[in-house]
């Protein structure tokens, strides 16, 4: 990559995540692994330069940190140092011991990165893991990243956003139709309208961002054996099947509802491009079994590209130098790929 090309390349904006978790360590290791690769999209991180420098020194990672004032400087700086947009804050928590006082900085980092991508200064946003419990104690009103990003997009665009959580890996792509709610609440939340809206969003983004002309969507059932014809529940008959019929009439290639216990073996995975599962664990258990280290969380339905590593803050190993950056690197690479497939203005 020439210097002129680097200057034209919009970087990926990486959030810091909870600074007491493994996010900052992963960012440092991801820079080490990718900054010398001419095909890798440069990234910047919205964080605290001093905290990153101190962490790198403690972990014996000889990584230069370069504070930048604007995203345009990141592409060139990235080849020699980790570019950082300074939050102007001080991290209070220690590795493995989060502090509620850092919640404002965690939220501000997300807002900064969304602002960069919305302004066209960054190509995509990648989010490091947050500790939702810490944010809740500080008054954070959203169930998680996905919902917060949807709210930010709505605020900026003035229209209703329906963000959809996709777990993507080369082995399996899967969407939970309901996400961070108790299992007992799933049947009441599982409506025909929700499934149709989710299916349309998934089909649209798989066409536009993943480049599939006619993506094939497979829907699971909610109940064991997809309800056994109503013997073990009627959600498949009264909710899921009518939603699939509506999607088919809209031109979406769908199948199901399938029994979830037979949908994820190797032969079955050849019959679809993405699965719509009915609840959180029905989706995350198979993808984390098949691709634990390199699965990527993607938010569909947003006006920008957002990916994230498919793991949490891992406070139990934070600051020990043993965190594996594979999933973050995969998230950065996928974000770059999706942004090139469908660049935002």
- pLDDT tens digit string along 291-338? 988 899 999 999 999 999 988 999 999 999 999 999 999 999 999 999
31 contacts 47 by C-beta, under 8 angstroms? no
Architecture per CATH, 1-161+304-345:
3-Layer(aba) Sandwich (3.40)
- Please give the average per-residue pLDDT across 127-133, as a whole number: 92
DSSP letters along 229-275, please? GGTT-SHIIIIIHHHHHHHHHTT-EEEEEEPGGGSSSHHHHTT-SEE
Residue 145 clears pLDDT 90, i.e. is over it: no
Average pLDDT across the chain, whole number: 92
SS3 220: strand
SS3 59: coil
Query: With bands split at pLDDT 50, 70 and 90, how would you rate the model's confidence at 9?
Result: confident
Residues in the chain: 345
Q: Write the CATH number of the domain with boundaries 164-301.
A: 3.40.718.10
Give the pLDDT score at 1: 42
- Please give the average per-residue pLDDT across 251-274, as a whole number: 97
Separation between Cα atoms, residue 1 and residue 24, nearest integer Å: 27
Of 52 and 6, the structure prediction assigns the larger pLDDT to 52
Cis peptide before 156 (omega within 30 of 0): no
Separation between Cα atoms, residue 272 and residue 205, nearest integer Å: 15
Query: With bands split at pLDDT 50, 70 and 90, how would you rate the model's confidence at 161?
Result: confident
Separation between Cα atoms, residue 329 and residue 18, nearest integer Å: 18
19 contacts 105 by C-beta, under 8 angstroms? yes
Separation between Cα atoms, residue 197 and residue 220, nearest integer Å: 16
Residues spanned by CATH 3.40.718.10 within the chain? 1-161+304-345, 164-301
Reference 112, options 44, 26, 41, 23; nearest CA is 44
Reference 204, options 169, 171, 175; nearest CA is 175
* 50-74 per-position pLDDT tens digit: 999 999 999 999 899 999 999 999 9
Query: With bands split at pLDDT 50, 70 and 90, how would you rate the model's confidence at 343?
Result: low
């Amino acid at each position: 990559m020439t210097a002129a090309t680097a200057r034209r390349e919009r970087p990926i904006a990486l959030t810091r995540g909870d600074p007491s978790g493994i996010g900052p360590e992963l960012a440092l290791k991801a820079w080490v692994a990718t900054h010398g690769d001419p095909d890798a999209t440069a990234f910047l991180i919205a964080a605290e330069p001093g905290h990153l420098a101190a962490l790198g020194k403690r972990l014996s990672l000889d990584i230069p940190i370069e504070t930048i004032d604007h995203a345009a400087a990141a592409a060139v700086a990235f080849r020699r140092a980790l570019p950082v947009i300074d939050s102007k804050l001080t991290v209070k928590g220690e590795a493995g011991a989060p502090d509620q006082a850092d919640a404002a900085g965690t939220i501000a980092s997300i807002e900064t990165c969304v602002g960069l991508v919305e302004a066209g200064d960054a190509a995509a946003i990648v989010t490091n893991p947050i500790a939702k419990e810490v944010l809740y104690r500080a008054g954070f009103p959203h169930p998680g990243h996905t919902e917060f990003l949807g709210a930010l997009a709505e605020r900026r665009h003035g229209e209703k956003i329906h963000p959809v959580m996709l777990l993507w890996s080369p082995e399996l792509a899967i969407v939970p139709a309901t996400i961070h709610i108790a299992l007992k609440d799933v049947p009441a939340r599982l409506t025909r309208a929700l499934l149709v809206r989710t299916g349309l969003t998934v089909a649209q983004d798989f066409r536009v961002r993943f480049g599939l002309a006619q993506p094939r969507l497979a829907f699971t059932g909610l109940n064991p054996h997809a309800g056994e014809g109503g013997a073990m529940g009627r959600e498949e008959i009264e909710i899921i099947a009518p939603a699939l019929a509506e999607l088919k009439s809209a031109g979406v290639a769908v199948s199901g509802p399938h029994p979830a216990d037979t949908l994820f073996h190797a032969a079955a995975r050849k019959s679809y491009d993405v699965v719509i599962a009915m609840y959180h664990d029905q989706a995350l258990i198979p993808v984390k079994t098949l691709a634990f280290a390199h699965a990527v969380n993607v938010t569909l339905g947003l006006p920008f590209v957002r990916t994230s590593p498919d793991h949490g803050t891992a406070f139990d190993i934070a600051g020990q130098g043993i965190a594996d950056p594979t999933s973050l690197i995969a998230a950065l690479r996928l974000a770059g790929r999706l942004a090139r497939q469908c660049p935002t203005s």
